[in-house]
Amino acid sequence: MSLRGDGTAPEAVDVLAVIDADLTVAVWTLAASRLWGYAAEEVLHRPVARLLAEGGAAPAGVFTAGGREPGQVRIRRRDGRQEEVRLSVSALDSGWLLCVPGPAVRPGLDPPALEALLGHAPLSLALWDRDLRCTWFNEAVHNHEVFRRDPELGGYVTDLLDTRHPDFLVSAMRQVLDSGRPLLRRELWPAGTMAARGDRECWIAFVRLEGRDGRALGLCSVVMSVSRGRGRGRLQRLSEAELGIGTTLDPMDTAQELAETAVPDLADYVTIDLSEAIPLGQEPLEHLRSTGESIPGFYRAGVASVHSDLRESLWARGTPVFVPPSSPFTAVLESRQSHFEPVLDTSPGTWLDHDPDRARVVRQTGMHSLMVVPLLARGTILGVAVFVRSENPVAFSEPDLVLAEDLVARASLSLENAISYTRERTAALALQRGLLPHRLSGGGALEVASRYLPSDTHAGVGGDWFDVIPMPDGRVALVVGDVVGHGINAAATMGRLRTMVRTLTKLAMPPAELLTHIDELVLEMGQGGRDRAAPSPMPVGATCLYAVYDPATGRCTMASAGHPPPAVVAPDHSVHFAGVTPGAPIGVGLGAFEPFETELPGGCVLALYTDGLVETRDADIDHGLERLRGALARPFRSLDELCGSVVAAMAPEGPADDDTALLLARALTPEHPDDLDTPNNPHEPETPHTPDAPGMPPR
């Protein structure tokens, strides 16, 4: 008996079925059961048509006299789902052989090998396809209460596993499928009455199965049950998750990461409430008005729940949390000791009598176990972390409290770092924005527009600045600079340099001479009043571009102290960069700044900027300059519109790794100054300068 009409053997690695000449099923294998979901007794001696989807190839077309090469066949699974499967059909003496050609389309080993190796293993093993439907399981699944009584092949994961919080289970499986990283520990809570015993713990692990090409074929799951005495494995699980806390220096993000880490492994509902609101950019708590029964005690920074609608939470993230003057939350804040209430007392005479809103939510959601843990870091109380169980019927235990305290203690350090950083960044932003010019005016000579975006990196805000300074003789000075470093010191140094430049501008010095004097003053500032025995202070470093525009001649004279060259945009939108020679940065003491002069006729735009606009981690400054040339060459209706479009093109994702400052100045036409639609027209009031929204302090 030949397997093909030409006498050759098929390529298939999985034989699915043998089909008789009358198009009924004669042989049905485990591989076919995995694919269709039918047991052998459900399909043997029955028409094969029931296995093919409507609208697909007719049985007579699939099973031809000579067989067919591997191709797509639309099948109908036991659960009614239809899909395209690559099958081959080989002719037999009195029927056909149905096979899966090439690599198997379902995860798993050869069925006989699976049965021999793992079928009677003491661990509950199951294989799942990419759609999270079961393709194989061993006998041990019947010994675990998390599996339903009669699991069926082809069933979705939630049809076979009967657990609390199934959404978290599905999410974990999809994460393993997408990332390829195995999940070695996740606690399962059976949905049945066995969950209330509390004497054993059930764990599940997932490993992705891959083909030779590295593509995901599906998952293998392992379920095990251990006595609660070995449940300290949860500490390792949460310790691993704790590595995901503090990935940013935003207190809100850090608090949210802490809350999400503990749900659902430890608690059903977790809140992180901070006692200090200033880093969040909110009104201080003591300025908020109390109600008749409660006081503003915290600001909510993080919240997580097994319910996606957060039905337990009375307050959203970033809003004040009101508590009774006498409650577990205020007691923990004062004593710095955890509040442990494994059985939440809701009887009359407790603190809930003075908190009717919370009492209502407790009853509605079934909250029955409570832990309130202080957020302590370096001796400072930051707030409280609240852990609640409602869906999980098992009350918190002493080991649970130890686990929560250990997790919170380590996470509090990350939270304190985030709060400190945010506090300093907010102060530096306030200082820098206070030192930057609030109103820019080029008088009757120039129309000006500007943008400033503070950096959004861990280093904090820097010391970029710009200015427009009208001179007594009708000329206008333009300046842009960048102080080395970040934080409050850089902002303060920027303020001193800006004051020096404005003072020397009044003396009408040429640009190169002015930069020389600034360089000398900075050196003296770093050395003056220093004790000879004291270590040398850190030198002040800054780049600066200083230009003076004369409307009478239409010429602009400039000099550079290590700063990128300004761009000149002609009325026809062509762009070129001024050939100014960059000298040494300010503070080095080398001086020798060279002047450069260029024509700036009416309608021309001069663009001054800091390197944060043109430099990134992924590209050098030459690439950035070409991008800037293209952004400046676009047509625009007003200078402010051009300013906004340039920033959007150069920094589409908001604040960059470094501060970004941009100053545009357009030469007004002396004969028709009113023709220009500009907020800085000499006949209109000056427009205050404000930073772009992405540069505002975090809220």
Given 49, 75, 100, the domain boundary residue is: 100
DSSP code at position 437: -
624-633 long-range Cβ contacts below 8 angstroms, 24+ apart? 624/650, 625/564, 625/577, 628/567, 629/567, 629/575, 629/577, 632/567, 632/569, 632/575, 632/605, 632/607, 633/569, 633/573, 633/574, 633/575
Report the chain's mean pLDDT, rounded to a whole number.
78
CB neighbour class for 517 (10 Å; exposed up to 12, middle 13-18, buried from 19): middle
Structure tokens at 111: 């069925």
What is the structure's pLDDT at 689?
Answer: 45
Q: Do 121 and 180 share a domain, yes or no?
A: yes
Q: Are residues 357 and 446 in the same domain?
A: no
Which residue type does 580 have? V
| In-domain check, residue 8 | no
* 307 and 225 inside one domain: no
**Amino acid residing at 185:** R
Q: Are residues 223 and 327 in the same domain?
A: no
| Positions of the chain with pLDDT under 70 | 1-15, 54-70, 92-94, 101-122, 185, 191-201, 226-243, 277-290, 292, 425, 427-438, 456-462, 486-488, 526-540, 654-657, 670-699
Q: What is the CATH number of the domain that holds 508?
A: 3.60.40.10
CA atoms within 13 A on the CB side of 675: 9
Last residue of a domain, one of 381, 396, 421: 421
Query: Which of 421, 452, 477 is the last residue in one of the domains?
Result: 421
The candidate with the shortest Cα–Cα distance to 249, out of 461, 410, 421, 488, is 421
Q: E strands along 234-353, which residues?
A: 269-274, 295-305, 320-323, 339-341
* pTM, full prediction: 0.48
What are the residues whose beta carbons fall under 8 Å from the beta carbon of 508, sequence distance 6 or more?
A: 471, 472, 473, 475
How many CA atoms does the CB half-sphere of 185 hold within 13 Å?
Answer: 14
Specify whether 212 is located in the same domain as 345: no
211 and 347 in a common domain: no
Strands, E, within 112-268: which ranges? 124-129, 134-137, 183-188, 200-210, 216-227
| Claim to verify: residue 481 and residue 600 sit in the same structural domain | yes
Q: Provide the 3-class DSSP secondary structure of residue 409.
A: helix
Q: Are residues 470 and 575 both part of a single domain?
A: yes
Q: Are residues 413 and 450 in the same domain?
A: no
430 inside domain: no
Q: Are residues 514 and 590 in the same domain?
A: yes
pLDDT tens, 183-231?
A: 776 777 776 544 444 556 677 888 888 877 778 888 888 887 765 544 4
Query: Are the C-beta atoms of residues 41 and 63 closer than 8 Å to each other?
Result: no
Structure confidence by residue, pLDDT tens digits, 33-59: 888 888 888 888 888 888 888 655 556
CATH number, domain with residue 121: 3.30.450.20
Give CA separation, 571 vs 179, 558, 625, 632, 692, in Å: 53, 21, 20, 11, 27
Task: Specify if 453 maps to a domain.
Answer: yes
Write down the pLDDT at residue 683.
Answer: 35
- Asked if 643 and 450 count as a contact pair (C-beta separation under 8 A), the reply is yes
What is the CATH number for 386? 3.30.450.40
Domain that holds residue 608: 436-529+539-681
* CA 311 distance to own-chain centroid: 24
Going from the C-alpha of 118 to that of each of 228, 312, 523, 679, the distances in angstroms are 26, 44, 78, 78
534: in domain: no
**What gap in Å lies between CA 34 and CA 357, rounded to an integer?**
52
Q: Same domain for 88 and 223? A: no
Contacts with 477 (C-beta within 8 Å, 6 or more apart), sequence order: 467, 468, 469, 470, 471, 501, 505, 546, 547, 548, 549
Continuous segment of H or E residues that includes residue 243: none
The Cα–Cα gap between 584 and 541 comes to 10
Cα–Cα distance, 222 to 210 (Å, whole number): 17
Same domain, 326 and 450: no
Q: How far apart are CA 594 and CA 201, in angstroms?
A: 77
Residue 431 included in any domain: no
**Domain for residue 691, yes or no?**
no
pLDDT at residue 449 in the model: 93
**pLDDT score, position 534:** 43
Q: Is residue 250 part of a domain?
A: no
Q: What is the pLDDT of residue 395?
A: 86
- Let me know how long the chain is: 699
Total domain count, the chain: 4
Q: What is the largest CA-CA distance in the chain?
A: 108
Q: Does the residue 263 lie in any domain?
A: no
Residue 674 has a pLDDT of: 45
